[in-house]
Chains A and B, each alone.
Chain A
């Protein structure tokens, strides 16, 4: 039946801060809005890719049906948002079907189910804000071309069959951090040029333009998070082809972050 919606959401844990910067609060509220919309549309499972779960061999698919624990972030551990409890339900049947479809597409799926597996901060942050959807998660191969990530997403939607699913990519825009410890009030996009490029890309998405031709330049000019391949994943799902709605945009420790919604 295809994915009913797609969304890009940030993965920085600052969105869960007890004392957030204004932009962190707005981005968190927008991500919760995405969760509300998914529930309104009766979404049964979310196909999720986080660029913070980066891998190098094939495409890892999380097959553990229940992930629980505390994620202590190796960089943000000194803050409240560096300690994140999680209790995630994985739609293991969908995950295995997704892995099978990835294999069938000529790629290599790697089924992942290990006690103590370190779930990434981006996944935990997004899941906390979206709400308790069953998830099917795939890693972001560092070296996969955008077309390959698009194929991976299409495989997930095909694997879902008659389930009502949505596709979510957890990633950022410009990735230039402020390289020192700051207070929330000091947060801003690290470079004006990064801000300009973030807005250019978001405007293009809102207009329904094809941003793929911008990807390489966006990457060079603004250090785009994982070469903005998260967008290729979303478009590959078939649910992010039209005009997007930008629900929020702002800095997270100098990086650019946005919540973007596509009606499938």
Chain B
């Protein structure tokens, strides 16, 4: 008989006092969720939509307040760097990020603080681990919507310093990240966090199943047309989330690549593998705070507390 490992969901409200990674979140970034919320930083106005996912993020925000992190570290798939892994070391990134695919939904004025010491420490640790790594110190580089989206949805007050990491991909061949490199990058991130003594929360800015409509309704937030791309995509997401909910995370080493193959999951960009590797693949279950689709892609907000 198959043995199912049931671990305690990682949502205990115990506050870890010392430094280290205090929690990790799968924090998908569809710009629709920011658009639907109508924050003052975003120019377009909506009538709402995608409420269940946004309620999940509201719960994430409540839990984040309990964790009281010093820093949010985010890995996002739309800061695509073709050569190596880049870390944003600009002290105060600010500007407007007009999203090239959804400019009608996302024109976001950003202004946030980077934890430069931690950012530089991640660069050093990753380089020492043999990864091609760059410290990005150019304030002219536009911050991408996947970075902003996850950070805004987790912490719209932007009152926690940030470190953001790029996704080393080839955008012209739609390649997958090398997940083994994401393991190395995750371990390097963890060492840098320990070395700097930060209380860090990690955000993996990935959707799940990633097939989606190629047309949009006249009203983007028309929930009458929002549904999974097909049953296969939905079932693939549920299979993965069942493993997440049962734990331990070690099972996801096999489940994530399988899910990518089945659903073109955005986790192929490596953010989730990076997060779990940084947390040391803890023997816990994840807490699924919400699941929903956005233009048919699957999205889940998930918490792991080591």
List the interface of chain A (C-beta within 8 A of B). Answer: 51-58, 60, 70, 72-75, 77-78, 82-83, 108, 110, 112, 114-118, 120, 141-144, 171-172, 175-181, 223-226, 253
State whether B79 touches A74 (Cβ < 8 A): yes
**Chain A positions within 8 Å of B134 at CB level:** 78
Of the listed stretches B17-25, B164-172, B233-241, B280-288, name the one at the interface; the rest are far from the partner chain. Answer: B164-172
**Chain B positions within 8 Å of A120 at CB level:** 100
Question: A72-B142, A74-B80, A114-B103 are known contacts; what are 19 more A-B pairs with Cβ within 8 Å?
Answer: A51-B172, A53-B100, A58-B214, A72-B138, A72-B140, A72-B141, A74-B81, A74-B141, A78-B138, A83-B140, A114-B107, A175-B172, A176-B173, A177-B82, A178-B83, A180-B132, A181-B84, A223-B173, A253-B82
Partner of A117, one of B83, B100, B171, B172: B100
Assess whether B160 is interfacial by the CB under 8 Å rule: no
**Chain A positions within 8 Å of B171 at CB level:** 52, 54
**Chain A positions within 8 Å of B84 at CB level:** 179-181
A255 to B52, CA, bound (A): 44
State whether B132 touches A118 (Cβ < 8 A): no
State whether B136 touches A77 (Cβ < 8 A): yes
**Which of chain B's residues has its CB closest to A144's CB?**
B214
**Chain A positions within 8 Å of B213 at CB level:** 57
State whether A175 touches B170 (Cβ < 8 A): yes
Assess whether B212 is interfacial by the CB under 8 Å rule: yes
State whether B216 touches A58 (Cβ < 8 A): yes
Assess whether B215 is interfacial by the CB under 8 Å rule: yes
Residues 75-113 of B at the A interface (beta carbon under 8 Å): 79-84, 86, 96, 98, 100-104, 107
14 contacts across the A-B interface (CB closer than 8 A): A53-B100, A56-B214, A58-B215, A70-B140, A72-B141, A83-B140, A112-B103, A114-B104, A117-B98, A141-B214, A175-B172, A180-B132, A223-B170, A253-B83
**Chain B positions within 8 Å of A75 at CB level:** 80-83, 86
**Which of chain A's residues has its CB closest to B79's CB?**
A74
Report the count of interface residues on B (CB-CB < 8 A). 37
A172 to B138, CA, bound (A): 27
State whether A118 touches B142 (Cβ < 8 A): yes
Assess whether B175 is interfacial by the CB under 8 Å rule: yes
Assess whether B144 is interfacial by the CB under 8 Å rule: yes
State whether A57 touches B132 (Cβ < 8 A): no
A55 to B101, CA, bound (A): 5
**Which of chain B's residues has its CB closest to A120's CB?**
B100
A24 to B215, CA, bound (A): 38
**Chain A positions within 8 Å of B172 at CB level:** 51-52, 171-172, 175, 225-226
State whether B142 touches A224 (Cβ < 8 A): no
**Which of chain A's residues has its CB closest to B175's CB?**
A223
**Chain A positions within 8 Å of B212 at CB level:** 56
**Chain B positions within 8 Å of A141 at CB level:** 214
**Which of chain A's residues has its CB closest to B168's CB?**
A179
- B197: min CB distance to chain A, Å: 30
**Chain A positions within 8 Å of B140 at CB level:** 70, 72, 77, 83
- B216: min CB distance to chain A, Å: 5
Residues 141-186 of B at the A interface (beta carbon under 8 Å): 141-142, 144, 166, 168, 170-175
Given A51-B172, A70-B140, A224-B173, A179-B132 contact (CB < 8 Å): yes
State whether A116 touches B132 (Cβ < 8 A): no
Residue among B83, B134, B141 having the largest count of chain A Cβ atoms under 10 Å: B83
A56 to B78, CA, bound (A): 13
Counting from the closest, the 10 A-B pairs by CB-CB distance are A72-B140, A77-B138, A223-B173, A175-B172, A225-B172, A175-B173, A114-B103, A116-B98, A75-B81, A108-B215
